[in-house]
Amino acid sequence: MSARGRANLQFASLGSGSRGSATVVRCNGTCVLVDCGFSLRELRRRLARLGLRLADLDAVLVTHEHGDHLRGVSALARTGIPVWMTVGTAQAAASTWPDSVPLQHFCSHSPFVIGDLEIQPYPVPHDAREPCQFVLGNGTHRLGLLTDCGSSTPYIEAHLDGCHALLLECNHDETLLASSDYPPPLRRRIGGRLGHLSNRQAAALLAALDTRRLQHVVAAHLSEKNNCSQRVRTALAAALACDPIWIEVATQDGGLPWRELL
Ligand SMILES: [Zn+2]
Ligand SMILES: [Zn+2]
């Protein structure tokens, strides 16, 4: 670990949900964006809330090709910011991708470094070409990101075990989804093995992890129709045996302000 690596890891959400997702993680002078489901104009507006400008971004990492994660990426790439994604995601996104813009590829099992951030990708079950999620660290602390995942696996648990912060998908309440007015195929897709984590699944995952070092748990990618923050907090707090107020929620419009790992 370098001396610079001792600076604190910070993260924030610019917004989380099916209308657009983006997360920022920084350490020292390195700042990366994970996904960009917002237009460039909207991204600038949301970055400004956090005291950031486009020029502060060193890279954008893309988890998968669904629009709520990819929508703003090609415009962002045209500004010269390096874009990282798996070969599978690049192939699936090729039709929206400008030929003139080069991509950086990573293997979804192999760690890589951008400035002061260590990035460990890991594959997840989701209905995309080569979807992955990330654990980001600075040599001292680790932040685990997990959204857009239909079911947990021992491999996912191994990566998220012992993290200092987690941003964890709590997409839907299973009862609300079952009684929603969504067409049955959509309900099956969301609740299926390649869909999205429910509150119950997220809580079960949390209960299976070593959470002794956890400083922040942020629920993310909540359905605006089939979930609510109260149900999320109740489910995750039961898994951690903590006060529900301790569970944080990244919202679609407001995101989550900066959090810092100490
Ligand atoms: Zn999504
Ligand atoms: Zn997705």
Q: Give, as residue ranges, everything with CB less than 5 Å from ion ligand 1.
A: 68, 148
Report percent pLDDT > 70 for the chain.
97
Give the pLDDT band (50/70/90) at residue 100. confident
Burial 34-72 (b: 16+ CB within 10 A, else e): bbbbbeeebbeebbeebebeeeebbbbbbbbbbebbbbb
Question: Counting beta carbons within 10 angstroms of the beta carbon of residue 94, is it exposed (0 to 12), middle (13 to 18) or buried (19 or more)?
Answer: exposed
| CA 118 from centroid of its chain's CA atoms | 16
Of all ligands present, the nearest one to the C-alpha of 89 is 2
Average pLDDT for residues 206-218, to the nearest whole number?
98
Q: Distance, CA 231 to ligand 1 centroid (Å)?
A: 20
The pLDDT-based confidence of 101 (bands split at 50, 70, 90) is: confident
Residue 21 has pLDDT above 60, yes or no: yes
Q: Is the pLDDT of residue 52 over 60?
A: yes
Instruction: Report how far ligand 1's centroid is from the alpha carbon of 89 (Å).
Output: 14
Write down the pTM of the prediction: 0.96
Extents of the domains making up the chain: 9-260
CATH architecture classification, 9-260? 4-Layer Sandwich (3.60)
Nearest ligand (C-alpha, residue 17)? 1
User: What's the confidence (pLDDT) of residue 6?
Assistant: 54
Does residue 5 carry a pLDDT above 70? Answer: no
Return the number of other C-beta atoms located less than 10 Å from residue 12's C-beta. Answer: 23
